[in-house]
């Protein structure tokens, strides 16, 4: 009588591999294996917040332009400059997936700086129109724009710090070991140039405080 030789179940055949994984994975986590992907995701999330706040500012501009136009329609060049700067800024985008490209971030930053400059000129023009500065819609836009500029500054600051943290994980010990052997495709993210605005919150002042004091 021939007796068949039964092979062990697959779970037993793979038992050494399972045991090895059970032993190695906790060691990887304990040695900082997750440091690089965690820092990378933090930087991506911080960039998404930057985009969110710049979009918030962009959404305010059409209403702002229309309000100013109602009181200063002959300031056509200034109004057109804001509209054009907004259009340029919205056309240049940097997704979290393309943060490795310094040139792309520089173009984005320059476009946003151009919009900031155009808004500053529009605000300066408004000083010559007391009725405009007293308009309730204009005052509401002032408050929203001030809040948005603050949120932009905070989001930029958070992104700069998150990128610094992530980029450091790629070149400092011990996480540089993981970058060398496991995350060789990871590259440093581009960052804002701090000198552009010294990371200070832009002041949005339509002159309403002076008007109130004078009244």
Give domain status of residue 3, yes or no: no
Give domain status of residue 7, yes or no: no
99 within 8 A of 105, measured Cβ to Cβ: yes
By residue count, the chain amounts to: 215
Query: What helix, strand, coil percent values describe the chain, rounded to 5?
Result: 75, 0, 25
Give domain status of residue 38, yes or no: no
pLDDT tens digit string along 80-109?
A: 999 999 999 999 999 988 899 999 999 999
For residue 28, pLDDT over 70 is answered with: no
Give domain status of residue 14, yes or no: no
pTM, entire model: 0.77
* Bigger pLDDT: 29 vs 186: 186
Range of the domain at 74: 45-206
Give domain status of residue 79, yes or no: yes
Mean pLDDT of the chain: 82
CATH of the domain at 178: 1.20.1440.20
Give domain status of residue 143, yes or no: yes
Give domain status of residue 186, yes or no: yes
SS3 187: coil
The count of domains in the chain is: 1
Give domain status of residue 126, yes or no: yes
């Amino acid at each position: 009588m021939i007796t068949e030789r039964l092979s062990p179940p697959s779970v037993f055949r793979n038992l050494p591999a399972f045991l090895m994984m059970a032993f190695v994975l906790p060691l990887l986590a304990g040695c900082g294996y997750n440091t690089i992907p965690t820092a990378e995701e933090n930087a991506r999330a911080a960039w998404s917040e930057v985009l969110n706040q710049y979009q918030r500012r962009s959404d305010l501009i059409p209403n702002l332009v229309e309000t100013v136009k109602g009181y200063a329609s002959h300031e056509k060049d200034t109004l057109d400059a804001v509209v054009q700067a907004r259009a340029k800024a919205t056309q240049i985008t940097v997704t979290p997936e393309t943060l490795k490209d310094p040139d792309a971030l520089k173009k984005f930053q320059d476009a946003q700086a151009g919009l900031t400059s155009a808004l500053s000129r529009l605000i300066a023009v408004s000083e010559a129109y007391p009725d405009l500065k007293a308009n309730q819609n204009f005052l509401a836009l002032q408050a929203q724009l001030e809040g948005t500029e603050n949120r932009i500054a905070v989001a930029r600051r958070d992104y700069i710090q998150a990128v610094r943290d992530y980029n450091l994980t790629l070149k400092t010990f011990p996480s540089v070991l993981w970058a060398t052997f496991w995350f060789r495709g990871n590259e440093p993210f581009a960052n804002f140039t701090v000198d552009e605005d010294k990371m200070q919150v832009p002041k949005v002042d339509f002159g309403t405080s002076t008007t109130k004091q004078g009244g």
